[in-house]
Each structure stands twice: as structure tokens, then as C-alpha cells.
Structure 1
Amino acid sequence: MRLWAIADIHLSFKSNREEFAKLQSRGPDDGLILAGDVGENLETLNEAFRVAKGKFKHVFWVPGNHELYTSKVAKEDEMHLKGEAKYMACIKAAKKHGVLTPEDEFMTWVYEDDQGFQVAAVICPIFTLYDYSFRPQNVTREGALEWAMEEGIRATDESLLYPDPYSTRDEWCAQLVSESETKLAKAAKTGFPLVIINHWPLREDTIFIPKVPRFSLWCGTTKTKDWHTKYHAKVIVTGHLHVRRTDWIDNVRFEEVSLGYPRQWQEAKDEGHNVNTLLREILPGPPTPTGGEEPTTTWRGRGRGWSLSHGLEEPLRRPTFAAKDAPEDALTMTPTSPTGRLV
């Protein structure tokens, strides 16, 4: 049993829909994680679930910001759904297809590790949203949106992602974080390592978006910074950034598994990648490195042009932990995060 992951497939784009339709099955008992931003409406979500369940025995889904959007161009029975009501409509769609969500009990996943032993992990899809706390210390919450607008950045969420019935997204995030902590604490007591799946990054220092650094406001919450150690995680799976990368922090593997908008992965496509080559193996995955020997950030399947345009130039080291898994264009480096801390 292998577990794979992809996020941000954005099926509202025709070319991404056509690409996802080419999804291929792997082993008969394999699973697939869809880590949010499948699309904006229930019709798209249902289609994604249908395709995924047709190819994989187990499918896990967590919401991204796009699934939560309220749109006036949606069907009549959907266009008035806001906030939690839209989320629960997505949950209903997932249940119809047998897709596991943050509202289900966590699943214990038994698989064969790289030594050939039968081991287990708990698969933990969660939903946290964000609370605008990924910002410099000198920027207040009240001044956060103005700070982002100084560089012309304002997320579409501000217009389309409603917090109803909560008064603010911050308040909704606080409730979601509390609920997630309760479930994760219970899962950690099993003694099995956790695979935590969330659309938004759990740590600010895994964010590197140099073209829009102040977009970090909409990328998570500082409340989740230590969850990888607090809840004994083996792997953290996220999306949202549209920047495929692997990090090792405290012997825990962090996987950003986005596909992205068509223009963002076109160069990778030109170099031979497709939806199947960009699926990331989560379990078994590469072996955990010896403590203190974690490799630097590995950028996966971006295309050479993207790497150079973001300053990722030679000399760069090849990843030492997963040569058999890393694409030919995987590059490693340690960049600086938007707030000046090292990733």
C-alpha cells in the first residue's frame, strides 16, 4: 500500500481538468491525498472525487480556500452557501463518493517500509484555515491588510471566503485549530506516527513565495508551528503555495504537493512532467535521515526556467535522501523566508 498526494489541481481550468482526467491508478490498495483547492464549486469537486476514486482505493480530501468560495455564478442551490455551510456541502459531496475528510475518524494505514517491515501510520486530514499571523513582528493584526496592500496584494479570499457563522476568519480559524488539536492528540496516543494533511502550511518558515511575499498573511497560523513534534508526525502534507518542495525539520518530512495554475506548471510540463509524475509519494516515501543530517530544501518538478527566475542558480546540491524519488530537475538550497528567517 502506497500513499500519494497532490494539491491545488484547480480544475476550473480546462487544461488542468483534461490533465487530471489522465490520472493513472497505482497499486490496487494505494491511496491518494487531495490536499485542497480542487475547485470552487460542488460540480467540480464531485468530478474530481469520481476520477480519484475510480483510480485509487482510498482517497483523502481537505478543503482549501477555493472550495470555500461563495460564487454568484454557481448553481442556484450553491450560490448562497457561505463559510461553514459551504464547507459542509463539500463534506456531503465527499461522503457520497466515499472520500475521507477532516470530519471522519482518522484512518490507520498499514504499509511496508524500506526495510520490508509492516508498519503503520495514522492518516490525519485536518482543516485549520488561517488567522493572518504569518507576518513580521512589527505589523499588527489591525494593520496586516494595509501592510499587504502596500505591495498591491489582497487575496481573493477577502471577497469570496466568508467566515459565517463566525464573525471573522480569525475566529473560525481558532475554532478549527482547537478541534484539530483534540483529534491529533487522540491520534498521537495510539503510538503510531501521524501523517498530518492540511491545505495551509503549518510553519511560516516553509513559505518561499518571493514574487508575492506578503501573501503569507493568507497562508496559515503560527498556532500550528510545533504540531510536527507535539503530535509525533512522520510527514506533513500541504499545498496552497504552488511551489513543490520537500523539507526536513526535526526529522519530520514536510511535503508541499501543489500542481498549480496551468501557467505555473507549464514549464515542468514542457520538460516531461504530467499529473502522474507530479504525484508525490508520501508513504513509504524516502527513509528518515539521521538526526542532524537533514538535507536542505528540495525543489521538485519546477522546470529549469522557474528555478533560475527565483534565484536558485548553481552551484546547487542534489538531494542526498531520495535520489531514486527526486525528479531530474530537483534542486536544493536554503532560501530566506518572507520575514527574514532561514527555511
Structure 2
Amino acid sequence: MKVYAISDLHLGVPGNRQALAELPFYPEDWLIVAGDVGETTTHLHYALSILTARFARVIWTPGNHDLWTIPSSGEKALAGEEKYQDLVAICRSYNVATPEDPYPVWPANNGSTVLAPLFLLYDYSFRPAHVPMEQAVAWAEESGVVCNDEFILHPTPYSSRSEWCRVRTAYTEKRLASLPPTSSIVLINHFPLRQEFARVKNIPRFSLWCGTTRTENWHTRFPVSVVVYGHVHVRATDYRDGVRFEEVSLGYKQNWRQEKGVRAYLREILPGPQAPGNETETQWYR
């Protein structure tokens, strides 16, 4: 029995939809889906109908694309918290675990391993120290970078995405703190938990929309063994303080090799590899 992970399926891309349909069966294994399934609930239904038939259990957390409100999609124009709760309800209809459910316990390791899907968003704190918060988006725009979230990811009923992020991180901190200290936690988030992993070299100011510094020390603050994330479309394995960080995105057509199929991009999270001797070395995946 294994736990695999993937994120950023981006099923608005026709080739990605076809590739997902060709994924083989893993009847004894679990799958983590770490956000950005697509832009519509139709994409989510499509993904879950396939993945829940292929895997013994599926665990989901949302990405920013999943939360977009696109009036031209023909779907209900839900926004913000209401949109998120609608996605949660869809997942529950497929018996898929969400950040609002009890954290699943992996039956191996005497049941000590907890898989914790998180929904945290971002707060524009992944920026240089000299850039004031109130000028952060304008700073990014100077380089021609503005995330679509600014227009179609609405924070309703919160005043901003930053406030929504603050509420979500506070809620999640309490849940994680309530877990037994003997637990081995797998943290699952769409966005990287540390600023150093916001690897957006071609568009560096896009880092604003990549996470929050509130989570920088969560891998040591809580008894964490693995952190799973996506969003940046730069697949890699890193180790920090004995904790394994896995970026598991598939991405757009230019981000992966279609001839390899989606199967080649499933990352084994549990049991997973042994830590290398040099924990500062990054393993990249193409």
C-alpha cells in the first residue's frame, strides 16, 4: 500500500483531461490531489469520477484555480467561502477527504501517520522586505505580472484574500496543535509553505501569490515528516530539518511530457524515499 500525490492537473487543457482518463488503476493505494484540478465544478466532477474509481482513497485540497468565479462558464456564480464550501460538498459526495473533514490516518506505521489537507491561501508576504504590503501588487505589476486571482478569486465574505488567509491559518494551527505529539504528519497544501520554494524564476514577482510566511516554521513547529504542495509547476524533492518537501505538480502542456502519461508524474509520498546524506541537495523532476 502506497500514498501518491499529484497537483495542478489543470483539466481546462484538453490533453490533460485525456491523459487523466488513461491513468491505470491503483486499487490498494491512496492519492493526494493538491489543488488546481481545474477552473469549474465540471472539471472537479470529471477528476473525482476517475480518481475515486482508480484509488482506494482520495484526499483533496483546493488551489487558486479551483476557487475562481468565471461567469462565462455557465455554472452557478458562487464566490469566496460559498464557492469553497460547494467544492467541499462535491468532494464529500465522492467520499473524498477535504480540509474540513477529520484528518485521514494512514493504516501503516501503527496508525501514527496523519494526512492533513490544508486550505491556507496567501497574504502577499512572499515579497522583499523593502516592499510595503500596501504596494505589493503594484510592485508586481511593474514587471508585467498580475495574477488572475486579483480579478476572479473573490474573498467574500472576507475583506481581502489576506484576511481569508489569516482566518484559515489560525483555524488550521489549532487543528494541527490538537494532534498527538507522537503523530507523524503529512501536510498537504496547494501553495508552498516556505518562501524559498516559491520557485518562479521567470516571473519572480509572482511570488506574492504563492503562500504566506505564517507557515515558514510549521515543518518544525509540528511533528511533520512530509510536506506536499504544488502551484509553482517546478517539480522537486527537498529536505529541510529532516522534513521532506515534495512539489508534485503536473501543470500545463509545456510543463510535462505527454508521452510519459500522468502515471509518470505520480509522486510516492508514503512510504517514500530515504533522506539523502546531503539535505541541501534538490532532486528535480522533468
TM-score for the superposition, normalised by structure 2: 0.97
Please name the residue that 1:338 is paired with. Answer: none
Please name the residue that 2:190 is paired with. Answer: 199
Cα shift readout 1:290-341 (whole Å, capped 9, x = no counterpart): 6xx31511111x2xxxxxxxxxxxxxxxxxxxxxxxxxxxxxxxxxxxxxxx
For residue 25 of structure 2, what is the amino acid of its counterpart?
Answer: S
Instruction: Indicate the SS of the match to 1:254.
Output: strand
Cα shift readout 1:13-49 (whole Å, capped 9, x = no counterpart): 10000001111122x3210011000011111101101
Instruction: Indicate the SS of the match to 2:239.
Output: strand
Please name the residue that 1:106 is paired with. Answer: 103
Please name the residue that 2:20 is paired with. Answer: 20
State the shift of 1:119 in Å: 6.3
Please name the residue that 2:241 is paired with. Answer: 250
In our comparison, the structure showing a higher alpha carbon Rg is 1
Is the contact between residue 34 and residue 190 of structure 2 (CA under 8 Å) also seen in structure 1?
A: yes
Please name the residue that 1:285 is paired with. Answer: 272
Unaligned runs of 5+ in 1: 113-117, 303-343
Instruction: Indicate the SS of the match to 2:245.
Output: strand
Higher fraction of helix: 2
Q: Percent identity?
A: 46
State the shift of 1:110 in Å: 2.3
Please name the residue that 1:86 is paired with. Answer: 83
Does 1:130 find its partner at 2:118?
no
For residue 20 of structure 2, what is the amino acid of its counterpart?
Answer: F
Is the contact between residue 3 and residue 281 of structure 1 (CA under 8 Å) also seen in structure 2?
A: yes
Choose from 141, 146, 150 the match for 1:149. 141
CA distance in 2, matches of 1:286, 1:119: 19
Is the contact between residue 64 and residue 240 of structure 1 (CA under 8 Å) also seen in structure 2?
A: yes
Instruction: Indicate the SS of the match to 1:89.
Output: helix
CA distance in 2, matches of 1:21, 1:295: 37
CA distance in 2, matches of 1:71, 1:286: 40
CA distance in 1, matches of 2:181, 2:114: 9
State the shift of 1:193 in Å: 0.7
Is the contact between residue 124 and residue 133 of structure 2 (CA under 8 Å) also seen in structure 1?
A: yes
CA distance in 2, matches of 1:110, 1:254: 22
Please name the residue that 1:6 is paired with. Answer: 6
For residue 296 of structure 1, what is the amino acid of its counterpart?
Answer: E
Choose from 200, 205, 221 the match for 2:212. 221
Cα shift readout 1:241-270 (whole Å, capped 9, x = no counterpart): 0110111000000000000011222xx33x
State the shift of 1:108 in Å: 1.1
CA distance in 1, matches of 2:176, 2:111: 19
Does 1:172 find its partner at 2:164?
yes
Instruction: Indicate the SS of the match to 2:91.
Output: helix
Instruction: Indicate the SS of the match to 1:30.
Output: strand
* Two-structure CA RMSD over aligned residues (Å): 1.3
Aligned length: 286
Instruction: Indicate the SS of the match to 1:170.
Output: helix
For residue 119 of structure 2, what is the amino acid of its counterpart?
Answer: F
State the shift of 1:190 in Å: 5.1
CA distance in 2, matches of 1:108, 1:199: 20
Runs of 4+ in 1 over 3 A off after TM superposition: none
State the shift of 1:279 in Å: 0.2
Please name the residue that 1:209 is paired with. Answer: 200
Please name the residue that 1:322 is paired with. Answer: none
Please name the residue that 1:50 is paired with. Answer: 49
Instruction: Indicate the SS of the match to 1:52.
Output: helix
CA distance in 1, matches of 2:134, 2:279: 38
CA distance in 2, matches of 1:209, 1:75: 32
Structure of greater relative contact order (alpha carbons < 8 Å, 6+ residues apart): 2
CA distance in 1, matches of 2:281, 2:276: 12
CA distance in 1, matches of 2:55, 2:232: 25
Is the contact between residue 206 and residue 247 of structure 1 (CA under 8 Å) also seen in structure 2?
A: no
Please name the residue that 2:132 is paired with. Answer: 140
TM-score for the superposition, normalised by structure 1: 0.81
Please name the residue that 2:260 is paired with. Answer: 273
